[in-house]
Structure 1
Amino acid sequence: MGSRQGNKDCYALALLIVVSFYIVHANGEKIGVRYGMLSDSLPYHNEEVNLMQSNNIGKVRLYFASQDALQALKNSGIEVIVGVRNAELQTIADDQDVANIWVNDNIKQFYPSVNIKYIAVGNEVFLNRTLILYLLPAMENIQRALRKADLQNNIKVSTPYPTSVLNNSFPPSEGTFGEDMSAILNFLSDNGSTFMAHVYPYFSYKNSAGSISADYSLFRSTSTVVTDGNLMYNNLFDVFVDAFISAMEKLGHSNIPIVITESGWPTAGNAVATVDNARTYNNNLIKHVLSNAGTPKRPGTTIETYFYTVQ
C-alpha cells in the first residue's frame, strides 16, 4: 500500500471513530471536527474535505489559516472556524496593519466561497501567562479588520478556553471563573459573538480515582446522577457546559451562546483511553447534540460541537 493511501486510511479511521454510525444518518450541520494539519499521516487537503463531506460533517475547525486547506474548502458548504496562532497574537495586538493584512490574506480573499463562521484568536491562551496580555487587544484588532472589510456581521471573533479557566465547576450552578473574564465577555456580548469552550469529561473520569462513573462520563447513565437545585444531570458533559454558563451569568452575561470547540475521548495513553470508549463517548455526544435537548440550564437548544480527531 502506498504511503498516501495508508495515510488516507489512518485519517478515515480517526473520522470513523468519531462518526461511526450516527452522523451518516443525521443532520451533520450540527457536528464539526478539527482539521488536522500538523502530522505526516494525513491525506491531501481535497481528500480530507471529501472524507468530511462523505461522512456528512458540516463544520470544521482550522487551528491556523492554512491557505491550502482554505482553498480545498472552497464551495464545499462546510462551515469553518479559522484560527489565529498563539505565536501571532503579539504582532496582531501591537499593530492594526498586521491584523488588517491577516484578515485580508486569510479571510477576505476566501469568503464567501469558503463558509467562514468564526475566527478563533489563539487557543487556550489562558494557559500562557505571557500571551494572555495580548489576547483581548488581538481580538479587538481582528474585529476592527473585519469591520474594515465589511465582514463583521458575517464572521464572529472569539477565543477558546479550557475547563481549567473555571475556578469551580461543581455543582454547575456554582460555576465561577478563576480569572477576571469581564473584558472578554463584554467583547463577545458587544459583537454578538460566542463563548468557545473545550470540554473533556475524560480527564475528570481518568483522575477521579473511581469517584466518577464510566456511565456518567460516557453518556450511558439513564437516571439522574447529580441534582443541582431543580436541575438534574445524567452526564458529565452537561455539567461542564452549564458550569461555563453559570460563570458567565455571575458576570452579568446570561445570553452569550456557547460553542464547544473541542471535545472527544483519546484511544491510547491510559487504561480508559480505548477505541471502544472513544466510540461510545463520541457517538453518544453526537446523539445528544442532534437531539436538540440542550443542557439543563439551556434546554431545547443546539450545542454546536467540534470533535478532536487527529493532530
Structure 2
Amino acid sequence: MECTFFDYLPPSHMGSSLFFCLFLILSVICSPVSASHSVTWTYGVNYGRIANNLPAPESVVTLLKAAKINHIRIYDADHDVLQAFKGSGIEIIIGLPNGFLTEMSMGEDRAMNWVKENVQAFLPGTRIRGIAVGNEILGGTTMELWEALLPAAKNVYVALYRLGLHRTVQVSSPHSEAVFANSFPPSACIFRPDVAPFMKPLLEFFSQIGSPFYINAYPFLAYKNDPQHIDINYALFKDNPGIYDAKTKLHYDNMFEAQVDAAYTALDKAGFGKMEVIVSETGWASSGDPDEAGATVKNAKTYNKNLRKRLAKKKGTPLRPHMAVRAYIFALFNENSKPGPTSERNFGLFKPDGSIAYDIGFTGLVPSAAASSSLLSFKDIAAQGWLRSSYLLVSTASAVVLLQYIGL
C-alpha cells in the first residue's frame, strides 16, 4: 500500500495539521540535494563509551580538536558529554537507545519530553545535528522493536518540528548489513523479504523529511566470516584484481565502495534511488580471538589509513560517482567493557591516554610524566589560570607542537 505524508502523523493530528503537512512537504521539496560539490565534510568518528578507563569528555574534546575531527556520533544523550562539547564547534549525532523505542512509540508527549531534556536544553551551544533513533533494529531479533521503530521516529520528528528544531536536527536510524538478503555483487542487493514491509514505510517517512539512509558497513566482518573466499587486499583498499559487476559493468577495487553501492542498489529497487547513503559505522579490529581472521594492528592501520585517504578525496562510488561518500569510523577508543568476542573491544583509533593506537596520520595527545593517567582538559586548566604550557601534542603526520604542562 502506498503511503502519504498524512500516514506519518499521529491520529490526534490528522484533522488539525493540514497546514503543517503542506508546509513540511514544501520545505522538503525545496531543500537542497546533497552532492559532491556541496559536501563540506566526509569523515566522522563514533565515540563509544562502554569502558571503565576512558578520559573525561572535556579531554575528549581536546583530543578531537588536536586530531581535527569535527563530526562525531554517540550512542546516547549523556548530559556530561553534551555539556563538554558546548562551544567546541564539533557536530554531534546523538542516539536514542534501543531501550527507549517502545516508550517513544507510545505518544508524542514522551518524545517531546525526551527532546526537550536531551536536545533543546543543549542547543545552540552544543551542535547537535542529528538523532539516531535506535541502532541496528531491523534485521535484529526483537520484533517488538521492529514495530516500534517507525512510530518512535515519527514522534521524535514531530517533537522537533513543534519546537522549531527540525531544520537543525535530523532524524535517522542506522542499519546493519543484516537488512539485506544479499549484497554480492552490488547490483544484486535487495532488502530481506521479512524486513521490507518495515523498511519501506520507514524509508518513505525519511524520504519525506529529507533524511539519508545510514548503514553500518564493515569489510572486516565480511572478511572475518569468509577469509577463504575474500581477498584481504580487496577488503583493505590494497592493490588487487577487484571484482566486476556484469549487470552494471562496473569494477570495484575495494569492498567498502561495493558495500555502499549495494545499499544504493537496494534503495533503488525499493523505490528510493535518490536517497543518500551515509556509512554510520565502519572500521577494523586491531585484535581478536584466534578464529577472528584479519584482526591485527597491521590490518587495522592499513584499513583506517587507506579509508581516511579515500574519504578525504570527497569522491563518489562507481554507481554514484557524483555523491561524495561520508562515513563515521568505529571507534574513537577501545571499549574494554563491551561484551562479545575480543574484536568488539579493539576498534579504537586512540588509547585512553590520548596517544594514537597506530599511525594513520592523526595527531594524538601524549601526557607529560607529571600528568595523571587521565587526560586534563585544556579548557579547564586555562579557566583556572593553571596554564603555563600544557600537553605535548605529537603530530604523527608532520611537525611536533610543544605544549608541555608544568605544575605550579
Q: Could you say whether these structures have the same fold, taking a TM-score greater than 0.5 normalized by the shorter chain as the test?
A: yes
1:37 maps to amino acid: R
Whether the 8 Å CA contact 1:28–1:58 is kept in 2: the answer is no
| Distance (Å, rounded) in 2 between the aligned partners of 1:29 and 1:48 | 20
**Superposition deviation, residue 271 in structure 1:** 4.2
Gaps of 5+ in 2: 1-38, 336-408
1:298 maps to amino acid: R
In terms of fraction of residues, the more helix-rich structure is: 1
The aligned counterpart of 2:383 is: none
1:90 paired with 2:108, answer no
Structure 1 segments of 4+ aligned residues over 2 angstroms from their partners: 27-30, 221-230
Helix, strand or coil: the match of 1:38? coil
1:196 maps to amino acid: Y
1:63 paired with 2:75, answer yes
**Superposition deviation, residue 293 in structure 1:** 2.2
Gaps of 5+ in 1: 1-26
1:177 paired with 2:191, answer yes
From 261, 269, 281, give the equivalent of 1:250.
Answer: 269
The aligned counterpart of 1:208 is: 226
**Superposition deviation, residue 109 in structure 1:** 1.3
From 44, 49, 52, give the equivalent of 1:37.
Answer: 49
The aligned counterpart of 1:290 is: 312
From 134, 152, 174, give the equivalent of 2:166.
Answer: 152
2:177 maps to amino acid: T
Whether the 8 Å CA contact 1:36–1:42 is kept in 2: the answer is no
**Superposition deviation, residue 222 in structure 1:** 5.5
Deviations 1:101-127 (A, max 9, x none): 111111111122111221100011121
CA distance 1:118–1:103, change in 2 (3 Å):
same
Provide TM-score, normalisation by structure 2: 0.68
1:122 paired with 2:134, answer yes
RMSD of aligned Cα (Å): 1.5
Deviations 1:21-46 (A, max 9, x none): xxxxxx99421111122211100110
| Distance (Å, rounded) in 1 between the aligned partners of 2:54 and 2:305 | 23
| Distance (Å, rounded) in 1 between the aligned partners of 2:104 and 2:271 | 29
Deviations 1:136-192 (A, max 9, x none): 000000000000110111211010000111111011112100011210110110000
The aligned counterpart of 2:245 is: 227
- The higher radius of gyration belongs to 2
Question: How many pairs does the alignment contain?
Answer: 285
From 87, 100, 122, give the equivalent of 2:112.
Answer: 100
| Distance (Å, rounded) in 2 between the aligned partners of 1:47 and 1:209 | 39
| Distance (Å, rounded) in 1 between the aligned partners of 2:325 and 2:41 | 12
Whether the 8 Å CA contact 1:176–1:250 is kept in 2: the answer is yes
Report which stretch shifted further, 113-122 or 137-146.
113-122
Report which stretch shifted further, 154-163 or 220-229.
220-229
Whether the 8 Å CA contact 1:293–1:300 is kept in 2: the answer is yes
Counterparts of 1:12-31 in structure 2 under 5 Å? Answer: 29-31=41-43
From 231, 241, 248, give the equivalent of 2:260.
Answer: 241
Report which stretch shifted further, 111-120 or 190-199.
111-120
1:109 paired with 2:121, answer yes
The aligned counterpart of 1:78 is: 90
The aligned counterpart of 1:49 is: 61
Helix, strand or coil: the match of 2:122? coil
Report % sequence identity: 38
Whether the 8 Å CA contact 1:197–1:259 is kept in 2: the answer is yes
| Distance (Å, rounded) in 2 between the aligned partners of 1:193 and 1:39 | 31
| Distance (Å, rounded) in 2 between the aligned partners of 1:307 and 1:204 | 17
